[in-house]
Structure 1
Amino acid sequence: MPHPVPASPHAAADLAPRLGRTVLYQLYPQSFADGNGDGMGDLAGITARLDYLQWLGVGAVWLDPCFVSPFADAGYDVADFLTIAPRYGTNDDLAELTEQAGRRGIAVLLDLVAGHTSDQHPWFAASADDPADDRYVWSDAPVDGFEPGPGRRGGFYLPNFFPVQPALNFGYARPDPAQPWRSPVDAEGPRANRAALREIMAHWFDLGVAGFRVDMAASLVKDDPGLVETGRLWRENREWLDATYPGRVLISEWGDPRVSVPSGFHADFFLQFGGDDDGLPLRSLWNNGAGTVQPSWGEVPSWADAEAQGDAGTFVRAWQEATGAIEAAGRGGLTGLPTSNHDFTRLVAGARDAEQARAALVLTLTWPSMPSVYYGDEIGMRFVPETPTLEGSRLNPTYDRAGSRTPMQWGDVPAGRLGPDVAESRYLPQDPDPDRPTVAAQLDDEGSLLHLVRRLAHLRTSDPRLDAAADVSVLATGYPFAYLRGGTLAVVLNPGRDAVSVAVPGAATAREVEVRGLRTEGDVVHLAGHGYAVLDLA
């Protein structure tokens, strides 16, 4: 099934109108593919693998930060927002990537670190030397959570995450006479930072970028009850975007689509954190290693587990609530459903059964949210425990993100089969398991996870019943999880190891689109352990 290609390379950047039927693919630039043979994944390597992404059915790619940085937090500590880090290439290489991706109908999104910079950024150096500079949050006296400042200014600055990431000052929603460092949101520094966000976005839009995933999007205005002022800031950015670069998109790392999408974003991911329920909706689907790498979460029974102790109802209710809030706001927008990402363990974590990833990926690609596939999840790459800590990956003694950032497992792909020959990254050690999955091993296997994801990604693009705007009717949320899309496309999923059954009206005469372990008796659908069925009832 061919992937539709826009009339011109630049048309791919017009992503907003087709976001609801687009498969987003997140790739970690340093881990994806090495185009120049120095061991570091780079932009040339991504460009060389665009044929693979097109073959897979990807409509947009999101790159983690690739800007100049000291890489104390793997690039989320930006020292120059307008320049590609030399280890990845040049700005011309980014323009070439967007051009070549556009020719294949693939939009390119970058990561916008909006709330902070590196402590090596010239803005911070200037602010550290000038007491009148309020681009960052400074206190003359020590304050809990603040760090001692460098430079002639002295004093203490507020970090946004790690100490090397000073928070940009977007103001405080509420004044407090006892805390004189609190600037109002319309002070000079906050106004300058809001203007800088638009300058950064415009710079990359003019090089063909289709949009941004915004890191820690809810963190900008401080002490902001209900995130009212933060929401106002992003709505103003959305109005500017629609007027100046129509068709481009903003996707947030907020973790609460009920609030973020009405605040101006085109989409927001359900995440393992965020919102009033602290990420419970997504963790109730796939726990991504909770209890092993992030014990503070506690043990949340997840639906995508062989023990079959979870229930998808928590997620469904959260999705319904978010969708209702988005519709009430009247602007439009989507929830986002990711398989995993660079901060949390993968669908296949440690010794967990990789077969469970099949049901999870079928759900991701057929549910009425924006599907996001983390690089390697399409072949069943696992979280690799005890991967060496690198570039700020360790967050606490039991939680190191490096195991989710290991190199893409290409294997011995025949030269020219997926585009120009390209080396595997050596940014981190490969998964040492000799039976680790690879693209090469699955490339000619129609029964592989890779081919399942490919078929579903192309189905998502071509079948209007799978557009995020199409209707969904939930039949059951446990084992199996069953729902109808567009009234006539049934999806039945069983990540558990035991056989399950459910009645699906019309199943007796349905056409099998994607099935595994399926048996029907009239309108009763029986699924074997780790089975799934996508059935056309029309």
Structure 2
Amino acid sequence: MGVTDLAGRLDRAVLYQIYPQSFADADGDGIGDLRGIADRLDYLAWLGVDALWLSPCFASPFADAGYDVADFLRVAPRYGTNDDLAALADEAARRGIAVLLDLVAGHTSDQHPWFRAAADDPADDRYVWSATPVDGFRPGPGRRGGYYLPNFFPVQPALNFGYARPDPAQPWRQPVDAPGPRANRAALREIMAFWFDRGVAGFRVDMAGSLVKDDPGLVETGRLWRGMRDWVDAAYPGRVLVAEWGDPRVSVPAGFHADFFLQFGGGNEGLALRSLWNNGAGTVDEVWEERHAWADAAGLGDAAPFVAAWREADAAITASGRGGVTGLPTSNHDFTRLVAGDRDPEQARAALVLALTWPSMPSIYYGDEIGMRYLPDAPTTEGSRLGPRYDRAGSRTPMPWGGLTADGFGPGAPHDSRYLPQDPAPGAPTVAGAVTDPGSLLHHVRALVARRHADRRLDVGSPVRVLSTGYPFAYLRGGTLAVLLNPGRVPVSAELPGAGDAGVVLARGCRAEGDAVRLDGHGYAVLDLAR
């Protein structure tokens, strides 16, 4: 059985997100698969990660790259079988690695048997249906006629979890305790139990805040997830629920073990990650206002919005008494990578120090550890394009394994997926090249992961004192571990009492003398003031 006690390890855990189509192809059909992931577990164990999050691997027509699920209880044939997934969880567990699946809780594919049945039966209320046209609804197929509510793309009909504010004049607004919403809540438990029983350690829940509609303050949505968390804790202790909600100050008290800061949303929670990285790199500028990112070489950004959002979330989580952590991703399948636009892998070093030393659960998106770049010209694939200049395919390109030898990192053959083109740039990073280079970004990330595991001052629950949020971004962990980061190209200086006598844990382009620290462009330092 897989690792099933992840909940007790979140304080120091490092998550690694895998986009299965693009990670490793064991059967040679050009698309990544579960056996390919299993073949690379030794690499992931060497890197030191504690848990893998797999983007959806369930049966699907792949109109939205698997986020349109046609069968929650069956692995998509392109990835293998249910037995392959159970074997992956078991093999990962032998290396101390937990496996999390992606649960698309709020909608299905329009090819799902539930939707096909609902399209023929006017009494079926598993989805949100109206007999008359409503803004945002789509004409329904089948004998039923009428109109259904999609959750994202038209092929993703919204499951009915009810409306917080029903209205008799709008009969599609059923209350949260109507038969359809009750059946869907029960189905979520059945799906999770099915995979928990096969060794899965938890779920990352897609669009977790969207289930109950017209829910001011997300009160009913929170009630739903608190009930789900209570069930998980009682029936499957140690398993975890991680939200794609984008607002940890709300979602973690609502029952999740963790939630990521993400690029979307308003207020501090929406600016949090955009103030650090990803904005201005070719995709998001048509969705959000242009902002300078702290991680850009121009040195015009500021991490203050991120720090403010983190403080609000941390205070809310503490006040709730339920426990839980915030999550800080390097990037993900929906947004640009750390290396994008004019940025290069060297500029990513300071950002990765932040991700792995801040009091949040870090999530490394596959390939970020070697400096894979966002490819703006990648071909639109399986619903990746969301706007004229917003195409997610550039963040979903294949992991470039290169000519690895069979020496502990899996098969010697490249084992590369061809789901999308690989980076054609001369000198584009490969795992094989990075493994053999002690100065590579990969070894930098591996050292950071090892330090996070070894130094209790880097636990999520260890205190942080922010000294400055610009250049450098400087903070103390546990009172005596100083982190100073300069992703900009211009050298900067800071005052840090005792810096000259501190022990150097990790540094590049740093000179400390007396109480002064100077960081070169793209420089960073982790200094132990207790030594």
Q: What is the Cα deviation at residue 306 of structure 1?
A: 0.8
Contact 1:370-1:468 at 8 Å conserved across structures:
yes
**Amino acid paired to 2:75:** I
CA distance in 2, matches of 1:408, 1:276: 34
CA distance in 2, matches of 1:530, 1:44: 38
Query: Runs (4+) of structure 1 moved beyond 6 Å?
Result: none
The answer to whether the 8 A contact 1:15-1:247 is kept is: yes
- Deviation, 1:353, is 3.1
Does structure 1 residue 337 correspond to structure 2 residue 342?
no
Q: Is the 8 A contact 1:288 1:349 kept in 2?
A: no
The separation in 2 between residues aligned to 1:393 and 1:470, in whole angstroms, is 39
Kindly indicate whether the alpha-carbon contact (under 8 Å) linking 1:287 and 1:301 is maintained by their aligned counterparts in 2: no
Matched with 1:116 is 107
Q: Which residue of 1 aligns with 2:63?
A: 72
Question: Shift in Å at residue 275 of structure 1?
Answer: 4.9
**Out of 173, 185, 200, which is 2:164 matched to?**
173
1:524 aligns to what? Answer: 516
Please name the residue that 2:200 is paired with: 209
**Which position in structure 2 is the counterpart of 1:536?**
528
Equivalent residue number for residue 85 of structure 2: 94
AA at the equivalent of 1:231: G
1:249 to 240, 243, 266: 240
Amino acid at match of 1:300: R
**1:210-289 correspondence runs (5 A):** 210-277=201-268, 279-289=270-280
Kindly report which structure 2 residues correspond to 1:30-109, keeping only aligned pairs within 5 A, or say none: 30-109=21-100
* Structure 1 match to 2:469: 477
1:52-451 pair list within 5 angstroms: 52-277=43-268, 279-290=270-281, 292-421=283-412, 423-451=415-443
- Residue deviations 1:14-50, cap 9 Å, x none? 0001111011000100100011111110000000000
Aligned length: 529
Measured in 2, the distance between the counterparts of 1:421 and 1:183 equals 56
The superposition leaves residues 314-353 of structure 1 with CA deviations (integer Å, 9 ceiling, x where unpaired) of 1111100110011111101111000100000101113323
Work out whether residues 290 and 297 of structure 1, in 8 Å CA contact, stay in contact via their aligned partners in 2: no
Does 1:502 find its partner at 2:479? no
SS of the residue corresponding to residue 345 of structure 2 reads: coil
* CA pair 186-292 structure 1, distance change in 2 beyond 3 A: closer
Provide the secondary structure at the position in 1 that maps to 2:141: coil
CA distance in 1, matches of 2:317, 2:124: 38
Q: 3-state SS of the aligned residue for 1:320?
A: helix
Aligned to 1:5: none
Q: TM-score, normalised by structure 1?
A: 0.97
Q: Provide the secondary structure at the position in 2 that maps to 1:13.
A: coil
Shift of 1:505: 2.0
Alignment partners' CA distance in 2, 1:173 and 1:285: 35
Q: Deviations over 1:366-413 (max 9, x none)?
A: 000000000000011000011111100011111110000000011111
Alpha carbons 1:291, 1:298 under 8 Å: kept: no
Alpha-carbon separation, structure 1, partners of 2:268 and 2:486: 26
CA distance in 2, matches of 1:276, 1:260: 15
Percent identical residues: 76
Segment drifting more, 440-449 vs 321-330: 440-449
Aligned-residue offset at 1:180: 1.3
Contact 2:279 2:290 in 1 (8 A): no
Shift of 1:291: 5.7
- Give, in whole Å, the separation in 2 of the partners of 1:309 and 1:477: 12
Residue identity opposite 2:113 in structure 1: P
Q: Distance in 1 between matches of 2:437 and 2:272?
A: 34
Q: Could you tell me how far apart the structure 1 residues matched to 2:174 and 2:527 are?
A: 57
Q: Which residue identity does 2:425 align to in structure 1?
A: D
SS at match of 1:349: coil
The aligned residue for residue 458 of structure 1 is: 450
Q: For the residues of structure 1 that align with 2:198 and 2:404, how far apart are their CA atoms? A: 31
Return closer, same or farther for 1:275/1:252 CA change in 2, 3 Å cut-off: farther
Q: Distance in 1 between matches of 2:497 and 2:34?
A: 49
The Cα of 1:434 is off from its aligned counterpart by 1.8
Residue aligning to 1:493: 485
Task: Provide the residue aligned with 1:4 in structure 2.
Answer: none
Shift of 1:508: 1.5
What SS does the aligned partner of 1:460 have? helix
**What one-letter code is carried by the residue in structure 2 that aligns with 1:523?**
D
Q: What is the alpha-carbon distance in structure 2 between the residues aligned to residue 396 and residue 416 of structure 1? A: 44
Cα pair 2:202 2:240 within 8 Å, conserved? yes
The letter for the 2-side match of 1:199 is: E
The gaps in structure 2 that reach 5 residues or longer are: none
CA offset at residue 354 of structure 1?
Answer: 2.7
- Tell me if structure 2 keeps the 8 A contact 1:365–1:371: yes
In 2, Cα distance between the equivalents of 1:95 and 1:273? 34
- Name the CA distance, whole Å, in 1 between partners of 2:269 and 2:96: 36
Contact 2:505/2:527 (CA < 8 Å) preserved in 1? yes
Residue 294 of structure 1: CA displacement?
3.5
Unaligned runs of 5+ in 1: 1-8
Q: Could you say what secondary structure the match of 1:20 adopts? A: coil
1:421 shift after superposition: 3.6
Across the aligned residues of Structure 1 and Structure 2, the Cα RMSD in angstroms comes to: 1.1
**Shift of residue 229, structure 1, vs aligned partner:** 0.2
Q: Matches of 1:488 and 1:215 in 2, distance apart?
A: 38
Q: Contact conserved, 1:287 with 1:300, CA < 8 A, in 2?
A: no
Q: Structure 1: which amino acid aligns with 2:485?
A: L
The TM-score with structure 2 as length reference comes to: 0.98
Between 417-426 and 114-123, report the one with greater CA deviation.
417-426
1:511–1:536 Cα contact (<8 Å) kept? yes
Separation (CA, whole Å) in 2 of partners of 1:61 and 1:296: 29
Native 8 Å contact 1:291 1:297 kept in 2: no
Q: How far 1:159 sits from its partner (Å)?
A: 0.2
Name the SS for the 1:383 alignment partner: coil
Q: CA deviation at 1:178?
A: 2.5
SS of 1:124's equivalent in the other structure is: helix
Once the two structures are TM-superposed, the CA of residue 435 in structure 1 deviates from its matched residue by 1.4
CA deviations on 1:112-147 (whole Å, 9 max, x unpaired) are 000000000000011111100000000001111101
Q: Answer whether contact 2:280 2:290 (CA < 8 A) is retained.
A: no
- 1:493 partner letter: L
